[in-house]
Amino acid sequence: MSGIFDTRIEYLKGVGPQKAELLNKELNIFTYGDMLQHYPFRYEDRTKFFKIRELTDELENVQVIARIKSVELIGNGNKKRLVAHVFDDTGEMEMTWFKGIQWVQKKLPVGAALIFFGKPAQYGRKWSIAHPELEPVTAANETRNNFQPVYSTTEKLRAKYLDSKGISKILEALLPQVFPHIPETLSPEILHQYQLIGKQEAIRQIHFPSAPELLHRARKRLKFEEFFYLQLRLLMMKVTRTEKSRGQVLSSTELLTDFYKNHIPFELTNAQKRVIREAFGDMKSGKQMNRLIQGDVGSGKTMVAFICMLIAISSGAQACLMAPTEILANQHFEGLKYFADMMGLKIALLTGSTKKSERKVIHEELLSGELKILIGTHALLEDVVQFKNLGLAIVDEQHRFGVAQRAKLWAKNEEFIPHVLVMTATPIPRTLAMTLYGDLDVSVIDELPAGRKPIQTVHRYDKDRLKVFGFINEEVKKGRQVYIVYPLIEESETMDLKNLMDGYESIARAFPQYPLSIVHGGMKSDAKDYEMQRFIKGETKIMVATTVIEVGVNVPNASVMIIENAERFGLSQLHQLRGRVGRGAEQSYCVLMSKVELSKDSKVRLETMVRTNDGFEIADVDLRLRGPGDLMGTQQSGITDLLIADLSKDAPILTLARDAAQQLLSNDPNLSQPDNVPILRQVRLQKKTAVNWSRIS
Ligand code: ADP
Ligand code: MG
């Protein structure tokens, strides 16, 4: 918004410099436009009045009409409080004030009936409301039919009378002045097709709803608009990228055919085949591939990666794969070397601990083109690592790498930006993927290899530990291996480490006959690797560890995952951990151990884990519990610019908005039609004001 909307808020009547400064500091409100976009975060239903007997714990603020029986002052000094005993025809309750007592006292004549408004709480058996708002009972008050907006505000603002009501008053003064100048930001066609109300009306209703139905439509319209512009920006970025970046044509299938015919150890799943086709389509297109492969843990992403490498190498290019940790890089190397050797392709591993002499050889062979596949950690990104012709760069477990690091990969080929495949095992709900990766193409491996038995998950309390030990014993006797994972977070590191060591000792006592491994973040990396390798080789039967084993580690013989203090883990972490088992042909189990008292969220998390193995379903629950702001990568995505739309709740509107943006761009790619002028104007405006809308992949 521009023009009048850029007017500084201090010039509004009733605001002035002092309040303006507070609004700047506390709420980031500088201008009329900012103020107008300070939408209420909820509404209070002031249409309903509660009887005292109807009060429950779940209720937020309520209105009660009650008559004053008596008023008394209790305690003294700091602890002084004013209590009004009130009643209606269903019961009695108390209204309490700790501050402003003298002022309130005058407003509480015994015998009078008042409307009290606030959040009810129960002390003993009696309901009370602390610091309720007061209003006289008048015909108008009793029959009003509006929702009252509630604005976010702060202590400091409240002290200057800028509580929710104060902010509402400012808007009351502001709206009439700016109303006729509020520009429509969507085209008539879109308004019509999606049955949206106009911007002016939406802004009016959002602040001063005149009926629930209109409020609903106002919210829908504003949410749609936010999603629409977010999607439009992403789609336009994608168009620019595909137009600009030429890609090396990688189209030979020679090696691929050989591999399929003579070496491949199993039939690919249909999902794997489809994703390979999608990637191949990009690689031979002459445009640069930027594709995200989402596949739940165990879905076989590594094989897809290898096959894409074969395509690149067949066509005379080289390929690299970057993993987030040394352990993982190692494991990828071991796994891929087996196939590369089979195919007579030279492959090498480059990590922080690669010896200098080996490095030198690697550098040379990369430059000469002799080395076809390089696996490694971010050591790959160093400037000295130069390829003859890097055609395909694969990044595993993408969420651990920053944007800047990935950009470095692109610079590894001067003529063409390498094709990029990003593989992630963190399932992202579709809505979020659309937004986070709106400018990437997304492939999903939504099928596990045949013959996998779904992991059985149970929740057990700490007191059942002996039984769990019995179960571990039986499984190890059958020849299986077991993970026991402890949480370790920085804030409580010492305690957590002690828990881990205690746990290790009690396991050692319980199972003197079994060799154990222990791995935690405090160990040197070669010691960790050594222990990890012993477990991978099957020399140790039980692995006691912190979450260092979270990502990607593949030990098919490990079939039991015990997670201690499971209530302390996030859902996606639990799912990742569980994904370490269920990789072989045996039935696998996951046991979530927890204390008995659990928070509401912890309960939902554990129940979800027990109920389903589906990473996408889990991701959806996770998104609902945590909100998108917490998820990785959202900071750069523009999601945090959303004022009213909510990715976890408004998926249907997002889908509509995405369709609308797509349709618009396919009909009018340059936004040059007269009807689309408002949209073009808005896009330009956002470009100007965008703080840092750099590419997100
Ligand atoms: P992730 O997607 O978690 O990285 P991996 O690539 O590590 O999964 O694959 C998990 C296991 O499944 C590996 O042991 C791999 O060899 C095996 N695998 C992959 N694809 C298939 C398939 N189509 N059929 C049978 N086993 C497969
Ligand atoms: Mg993997």
Whether residue 425 contacts residue 579, with contact meaning beta carbons closer than 8 Å, is answered with yes
pLDDT of residue 58: 79
CA of 321 to the centre of ligand 2 (A): 11
pLDDT of 586 > 60? The answer is: yes
pLDDT of residue 491: 64
Q: Which ligand is nearest to the CA of 579?
A: 1
Whether residue 417 contacts residue 288, with contact meaning beta carbons closer than 8 Å, is answered with yes
Q: Which ligand is nearest to the CA of 580?
A: 1
pLDDT of 554 > 80? The answer is: no
How confident is residue 528, by pLDDT bands cut at 50, 70 and 90?
A: confident
The Cα 134–Cα 118 span in angstroms is 9
643-676 burial: b if 16+ Cβ within 10 Å, else e: ebbbbbebbebbebbbebbeebbeebeebeeeeb
* Total domains, the chain: 5
Pick from 260, 292, 299, 551 the residue to mutate for probing ligand 1's pocket: most ligand atoms within 8 Å of its CB: 299
pLDDT of residue 415: 80
Using alpha carbons, select from 115, 60, 121, 77 the residue that is nearest to residue 96. 121
- Residue of the nearest CA to atom 12 in ligand 1? 300
Each residue of 167-219: pLDDT tens digit? Answer: 999 999 999 999 999 999 999 999 999 999 999 999 999 999 988 889 999 99
Each residue of 620-656: pLDDT tens digit? Answer: 888 888 766 555 444 445 555 788 888 778 888 998 9
- Residue 501 half-sphere exposure, CB side, CA atoms within 13 Å? 9
Residue 590 bridge partners (DSSP):
457, 561
pLDDT of residue 691: 39
CATH classification at residue 84: 2.40.50.140
pLDDT of residue 216: 93
152 within domain boundaries: no
Residue 560 bridge partners (DSSP):
482, 589
The average pLDDT across 335-341 equals 92
430 within domain boundaries: yes
The Cα 9–Cα 174 span in angstroms is 9
* Lowest-pLDDT choice from 178-187, 427-436, 661-670: 427-436
Residues 397, 482, single domain; the answer is no
Mean pLDDT taken over the chain: 87
CA of 482 to the centre of ligand 1 (A): 20
645 within domain boundaries: no
Residues 216, 299, single domain; the answer is no
Q: Which ligand is nearest to the CA of 304?
A: 1
Residues 439, 523, single domain; the answer is no
CA 687 to chain centre: 25
538 within domain boundaries: yes
Residue 45 bridge partners (DSSP):
147
Is the Cβ atom of 338 under 6 angstroms away from ligand 1?
no
Is the Cβ atom of 63 under 6 angstroms away from ligand 1?
no
Beta-strand relationship, 147-150 and 120-123: unpaired
**The ligand 1 atom nearest the CA atom of 556:** 14
The Cα 541–Cα 154 span in angstroms is 55
Residues 287, 424, single domain; the answer is yes
Is the Cβ atom of 584 under 6 angstroms away from ligand 1?
no
Sign of CA dihedral 153, 158, 164, 170: negative
pLDDT of residue 306: 96
Say how many residues make up the chain: 697
pLDDT of residue 1: 46
pTM of the complete model: 0.67
Is the Cβ atom of 425 under 6 angstroms away from ligand 1?
yes
The average pLDDT across 349-378 equals 95
Per-residue DSSP letter, 425: -
State phi, psi for 277 to the nearest 5 degrees: -60, -45
150 within domain boundaries: no
282 within domain boundaries: yes
Q: Does an H or E element contain 628, and which?
A: none
Is the Cβ atom of 581 under 6 angstroms away from ligand 1?
no
CA of 370 to the centre of ligand 1 (A): 28
pLDDT of residue 696: 31
Residues 584, 524, single domain; the answer is yes
* Lowest-pLDDT choice from 115-129, 416-430, 530-544: 416-430
pLDDT of residue 438: 64
**The ligand 1 atom nearest the CA atom of 295:** 2
How confident is residue 516, by pLDDT bands cut at 50, 70 and 90?
A: very high
Residues 627, 670, single domain; the answer is no
Using alpha carbons, select from 43, 4, 39, 9 the residue that is nearest to residue 24. 9
Q: Which ligand is nearest to the CA of 301?
A: 1
pLDDT of 111 > 70? The answer is: yes
Whether residue 343 contacts residue 427, with contact meaning beta carbons closer than 8 Å, is answered with no
- Provide the token pair at 543: 């692995």
Is the Cβ atom of 576 under 6 angstroms away from ligand 1?
no
How confident is residue 552, by pLDDT bands cut at 50, 70 and 90?
A: low
Residues 363, 464, single domain; the answer is no
CA-to-CA dists, residue 60 to 42, 52, 112, angstroms: 11, 14, 25
Is the Cβ atom of 324 under 6 angstroms away from ligand 1?
no
CATH classification at residue 425: 3.40.50.300
Burial of residue 159, with CB atoms counted within 10 A of its CB: 0-12 exposed, 13-18 middle, 19 or more buried: exposed
The average pLDDT across 613-620 equals 86
Residues 325, 208, single domain; the answer is no
Enclosing domain of residue 237: 186-244+650-697
- Residue of the nearest CA to atom 9 in ligand 1? 300
User: Which residues have C-beta within 8 Å of that of residue 406, sequence separation ≥ 6?
Assistant: 395, 420, 422, 697
pLDDT of 551 > 60? The answer is: no
Residues 421, 498, single domain; the answer is no
- Residue of the nearest CA to atom 25 in ligand 1? 449
Q: Which ligand is nearest to the CA of 584?
A: 1
The Cα 425–Cα 405 span in angstroms is 19
Residues 272, 346, single domain; the answer is yes
Residues 440, 525, single domain; the answer is no
Using alpha carbons, select from 336, 278, 273, 321 the residue that is nearest to residue 299. 273
Residues 27, 94, single domain; the answer is no
CA of 324 to the centre of ligand 1 (A): 19
Residue with tokens 């023009």: 3
% of the chain at pLDDT higher than 90: 55
pLDDT of 79 > 90? The answer is: no
153 within domain boundaries: no
- Residue of the nearest CA to atom 4 in ligand 1? 301
State phi, psi for 421 to the nearest 5 degrees: -115, 125
Select, from the ranges 75-79, 399-403, 487-491, the one with the highest average predicted confidence (pLDDT). 75-79
